[in-house]
Structure formats: C-alpha cells, structure tokens
Amino acid sequence: MFSPLNWLLGLFSLDIGIDLGTANTLVCVRNQGVVINEPSVVAIEKKTKKVLAIGAEAKEMVGRTPANIVAVRPLRDGVISDFDVTEQMLHHFIRKVHERSLLRIPRPRVVVGIPSGVTEVEKRAVHDATISAGAREAYLVEEPMAAAIGAGLKVTDAKGSMIVDIGGGTTEVAVIALGGIVVARSIRVAGDEMDEDIIAYARQKYNLLIGDRTAEQAKIEAGSAYPLEQEITYTLRGRNLITGLPEGVEISSIEIREALRNSVNVIVEAIKSALDDTPPELVADLMSDGIVLAGGGALLRGLSERLSEETKMKVYAANEPMSCVAKGAEKILESLEDLRKVLTSMQRGSTIH
C-alpha cells in the first residue's frame, strides 16, 4: 500500500545492504558499493552498560581492556546473542552512512544477510533490531543467496550454481536455481573455529597461550588448506604456561595446516553432503561451471585446490569474496521487485508506518 510518509522518507534516505557478520559488518549503499567494513565488536562500560566504542576502535581494545570495560561481539555463529548491543551497533553504522550527506536522514530501506539455518525467532530478532536501529523497511536474505548474487551468479536461471560462504561464525553451502535454494548446509565451523584450532595447537604442542588476534593473524599470514609450493614460517607470541613468561615460537605453515585440518575437513564434508543431495541435472550444471567460494575463509591459501581435489570439480574464489554478501544485498535493493522472491518468507510487508 502506498504510504506518503515512506515515499517522503525515501527521497531523503540512503538504501543500504548489510552483511551482519560474526567477525565483521559490511555496509553497502545502493549504487555506491561498500562504504563501511568494520569488526562486529562493541566496547561497553560494565556497570553503566554505556557503549564506549564500536567497530575498529572497539576491536583494538579486545584483550587489552581494564576491568571496568568489556569488548563484546554481539553476534555468535551468525546470530544475535545480545539484542540491545546489536541494535546499538546497527544504529551506529546506519547513522555513520548518513553522516556523509547533510541532506539525508537515517530512515533507510535495509536488506540484511542472515545464515540459512536460523530459526524464525532468530530471524525476527535480526528484523526487529534493524527496525529499532532506524530502518523504515527491513528485508532479510539468506547469506548464501546474497553471496551468490554478489559473486555475479545468475540465481534466477534454471541452471544450477553452488556457493560456499565461509564467514567468521558459520559456513554456508548452497545449491541455487530459479531464485531459490535447492540444497543447503549451514555449519558452525568457520573462521572463528580455525582461530580456536590454532590457539589449542599452540597450547598443546608448545605450552604457549596466545590470544584470538594472534591466532587470526597467524591464520592470515601462514594458514593453508593444501601444501604450498614454498612453505613459510610465522612467529607466535604469547605466554609460556610453564614459566609464566612471554615467549615467541616460530612455527611453519605445515604446522598451522595441521592445526586447521579438523575444521577444513568438516567444511569439506558439508560440501560433499550437499552435493550428495543435489539433483543429477543440477550436478551436471555444477560440473560445467564449478563451485564458487565467498567470505573471508575463501582467502585461506590452497582451499580451492583442496576442495577441487575432494569434489573433482573446478573451485574458485569470487572477486572480493569478503564483500559478496553485502554486495548481493546492494544488488537486491537495486532490483527489489525483480529479486523480491529471493528474500526470506518472513518478509512480506515488514515496514514501519
């Protein structure tokens, strides 16, 4: 139904797409691309619950805050674990986008990516948080669908395509055709789990206690899923659990690959399971076009080679894999009527009046 208020707000607001990730939140503005890419971290004063910092500034505080300040990640495994903090984080990012133009007011239409395996309650939490943060209309799209659109796959065609979106909290595997997800797998093994693997490996083998940020950096600098042409080394710095003193240990990419083995194996099995349930006609399409990787995990060295060896198919990373979900959300906003069917079933008239 036509609403004069919504029409007026539309003249003065920027439509935005949000990849509300466990590790990072990316925000796209319609026709402008990615304008914000910041960690999904909020620093809070314990007693007053006052928000002190959001995003990159808050991440700098992780592991370094005094007792009265806590740096929290309000999303776990791709879903909201702290509603109020998520709402404040969304409000901050929406307002930050609109600060770029003095003529704009923050009452945008927003498309948000969510994991494919979430419950109706979790969907409603994301929707309500987005509306509470200032959106006049909120739409939800499953992350693998958004990632496929952002990667340039023709999701509305009869020809099948496969996307593997490896984020911070979840890995989403989906076979897509005719604007819908035919087969899906959502597992809570992704970038965060890989970091935990490295922390556990350093503790067990070297009696070295390292933090999340150190583990993440080791994964980025020397992590791999397949033997490298030239193996590299990386120095882990932390605290020796026996002496209690600071210590640096040089480890090779072979050791980090060993540490990541279990997580990579789980992702491989999820992909094989999805392929096992895929109709034969679509399997033929996938054999022709291959499997596309998206998300930060797509940047892990040798992952495409490992998956190609396991599936006997071509596997390749999308261009700018980390921004695929946000860009997909932006493309949905650009063609909302044509792509409305890719939105989740909850989204029918989810607006404010």
Counted residue by residue, the chain has a size of 353
What lies within 8 Å, CB to CB, of 261 at 6+ separation is none
Give pLDDT, residue 101. Answer: 57
Give pLDDT, residue 72. Answer: 85
Note if the pTM is more than 0.85: yes
Give pLDDT, residue 312. Answer: 95
User: Which helix (H) or strand (E) is 183 found in, with range?
Assistant: strand 180-187
Give pLDDT, residue 351. Answer: 44
CA neighbours closer than 13 Å in the CB half-sphere of residue 131: 16
Average pLDDT over every residue of 219-233: 95
Evaluate whether 294 touches 321 at the Cβ level (below 8 Å).
Answer: yes
Average pLDDT over every residue of 61-68: 74
Average pLDDT over every residue of 113-140: 87
Give pLDDT, residue 100. Answer: 64
Q: How confident is the model at residue 331 (pLDDT cuts 50, 70, 90)?
A: very high
Q: How confident is the model at residue 162 (pLDDT cuts 50, 70, 90)?
A: very high
Q: Which of 66-75, 91-100, 290-299 has the highest mean pLDDT?
A: 290-299
Predicted confidence (pLDDT) at residue 225 exceeds the cutoff of 50: yes
- What the chain holds in terms of domains, given with CATH numbers, is 4-38+78-146+324-342 (3.30.420.40), 158-189+264-321 (3.30.420.40), 191-260 (3.90.640.10)
Burial 321-330 (b: 16+ CB within 10 A, else e): bbbbbbbbbb
Distance CA 228, CA 62 (A): 32
Predicted confidence (pLDDT) at residue 328 exceeds the cutoff of 70: yes
Q: How confident is the model at residue 108 (pLDDT cuts 50, 70, 90)?
A: confident
Residue keyed to tokens 């992350």: 143
User: Which helix (H) or strand (E) is 239 found in, with range?
Assistant: strand 233-240
Average pLDDT over every residue of 235-251: 95
Span 260-297, pLDDT tens digits: 999 999 999 999 999 999 999 999 999 999 999 999 99
Give pLDDT, residue 106. Answer: 63
Span 8-56, pLDDT tens digits: 444 456 889 999 888 899 999 888 889 999 999 999 988 888 888 998 8
Give pLDDT, residue 96. Answer: 85
Predicted confidence (pLDDT) at residue 216 exceeds the cutoff of 60: yes
Helices (H), the chain: 4-12, 56-59, 83-98, 120-132, 143-150, 191-206, 212-222, 253-276, 280-289, 303-311, 324-334, 336-339
Span 290-325, pLDDT tens digits: 999 999 999 999 999 999 999 999 999 999 999 999
Average pLDDT over every residue of 207-225: 94
**Better pLDDT: 245 or 8:** 245
Predicted confidence (pLDDT) at residue 243 exceeds the cutoff of 70: yes
Single-letter code of the amino acid located at 60:
E
Q: How confident is the model at residue 2 (pLDDT cuts 50, 70, 90)?
A: very low
**Better pLDDT: 349 or 253:** 253
Look at 95-109, 199-213, 301-315 and tell me which has the smallest mean pLDDT.
Answer: 95-109
Distance CA 90, CA 221 (A): 31
Under DSSP, the state recorded for 112 is E
Mean pLDDT of the chain: 88
Percentage with pLDDT > 90 across the chain? 57
Give pLDDT, residue 345. Answer: 63
